[in-house]
Amino acid sequence: MIRRPTYEELEQERNEIEKEVREYSGAGVALKQFKTIFDKAGWGVGIIDINGNLVYVNETFAQMHGYTPESVIGKDFSIFHLEEQMKNVERVKKELEQTGSLTAEEVWHKRKDGTSFPTLMHGTSIKDDKGNPLYLCATAIDTTEQKRTEQALRESQLLYRTLFESVPVGIGLATVDGQVLAYNDTMVQMTGYSRGELNQIDLKSTYQHPEERALILKQSQEDGFVRDFEVKLKRKDGTPYYASLNITRFTLGANDVLLTLAQDVTERRHAEQALREREAALRTQADEIQKANSALRVLLKRADEDKRDIEKHVLYNVKQLVMPCVEKMKKSDLDAEQISYLTTLQSRLNDIVSPFSYTLSNKYLNLTPTEIQVANLVKEGKTTKEIAALLNLSPRTVECHRGSVRRKMGIKKKKASLRTQLLSLE
């Protein structure tokens, strides 16, 4: 692949040839003696007479515009320009005629197909021995690619500048010594300093604990970076805030610099602190509740003990004081009905003081009071007829209650003894 000369190389070549043209012109050498030099140039060369007619173009100049050299000789140089370009072109031509030279002027040209492109032009005036202009010689370099590169560079710079300024994270560039070089708007808002002030401060003064910056510098020197390092900083007005720093160390020119991404985490730190305090308060409340529960268990235990003491006292009084009286009354001269009532009274008292009745009613809550009475008498070994007489019920009704008790207690086998099951509850 043939290497294209650089812009600087073309400029150097053009300057050398222009120097030769001026030297040869001063000596009165004919233009055709320089044709070979111009034809080999890697940039466009064109010569017009004082009337604007083309007397010479090299291959590069012609191809630049979409022509061949032969097709444009003798034509007015305006064929290389649009009508709206001619005002500036005439100004350049006039300046060249008056001053005798033209340096680094941007001039827009037109191709054969009508498209426009920019060029960088230099020119010189070729004069006779009396100083009268004979020809105007100009060089042209197509700067289309250069313009595109410059435009791409501007767009890239705009893109990165937009990103730099719009991200919600503070970005700053500073020397190792703490001199601030660059920063974005978020960093300005975070620190409370103005843009001019940030360039004047020493970063060390923004740390609540300067030893943390020394630690950052040490770690960045060893590893080349620092990640998620949380520090306590202070704003311009002295108010403290917390920031999470991500820092990359690299060489810029001859100096080491630190690129810092800073995120304000003050609200998060305050939320974490509030959460810790809330957790501590909840733990305290839990401890107090635990103590209260312990005290309540002691009280409940004492109440249960008191209840059992009362039950024992009632049981003792009924069995030792009441029941003996009932037994004596049963042995006295009573008719059958009175004996029945007395027996029923004795059974009711037994129900009241019987721990079995309490256990049965708690274990099988769906038993009716009558079913509990029947179950209690069955446990004591009473027959159906005896139970019927004691409860003033019919034997059939007693059998019905016995069957209901068996069903509710889950006794499915007919041969299983209800009394045995009831005795097992004691």
The Cα–Cα gap between 75 and 48 comes to 9
pLDDT, mean of residues 183-189: 91
Distances (CA, A) of 225 to 115, 215, 251, 255: 52, 12, 13, 16
Answer whether residue 55 shows pLDDT above 90.
yes
Answer whether residue 281 shows pLDDT above 90.
yes
CATH architecture of 167-264: 2-Layer Sandwich (3.30)
Answer whether residue 78 shows pLDDT above 90.
yes
pLDDT band at 418 (very low <50, low <70, confident <90, very high): confident
pLDDT by residue (tens digit) across 168-179? 899 999 999 999
**Domain at 333-423, CATH from 3.40.50.2300, 3.40.50.720, 3.30.870.10, 1.10.10.10:** 1.10.10.10
Answer whether residue 362 shows pLDDT above 80.
no
The Cα–Cα gap between 123 and 81 comes to 17
Residue pair 243/265 in contact (Cβ under 8 Å)? The answer is yes
pLDDT, mean of residues 358-372: 68
User: In the chain, which segments carry CATH 3.30.450.20?
Assistant: 7-145, 167-264
pLDDT, mean of residues 193-201: 90
The Cα–Cα gap between 325 and 317 comes to 12
Chain mean pLDDT for the chain: 85
pLDDT by residue (tens digit) across 208-255? 999 999 999 999 999 999 999 999 999 999 999 999 999 999 998 888
User: Which pLDDT does position 28 carry in this prediction?
Assistant: 44
User: In the chain, which segments carry CATH 1.10.10.10?
Assistant: 333-423
pLDDT band at 20 (very low <50, low <70, confident <90, very high): low
- Residue 92's contacts (CB-CB under 8 Å, 6 or more residues apart) are 102, 105, 107, 121, 123
User: Which pLDDT does position 14 carry in this prediction?
Assistant: 62
pLDDT by residue (tens digit) across 102-134? 898 999 999 999 999 999 999 999 888 888 889
User: Which pLDDT does position 414 carry in this prediction?
Assistant: 74
User: Which pLDDT does position 7 carry in this prediction?
Assistant: 59
HEC string for 265-293: CHHHHHHHHHHHHHHHHHHHHHHHHHHHH
pLDDT, mean of residues 309-323: 73
pLDDT by residue (tens digit) across 81-100? 999 999 999 999 999 988 99
pLDDT band at 310 (very low <50, low <70, confident <90, very high): confident
C-alpha atoms less than 13 angstroms from C-alpha of 253 in its C-beta half-sphere = 4
Domain 7-145 has CATH 3.40.50.300: no
User: Which pLDDT does position 176 carry in this prediction?
Assistant: 93
Q: For residue 142, give the nearest of 60, 86, 68 by alpha carbon.
A: 60
pLDDT, mean of residues 147-174: 87
In 3-state terms, what secondary structure has residue 264?
A: strand
User: Which pLDDT does position 5 carry in this prediction?
Assistant: 59
Cβ count near 71 (within 10 Å): 13
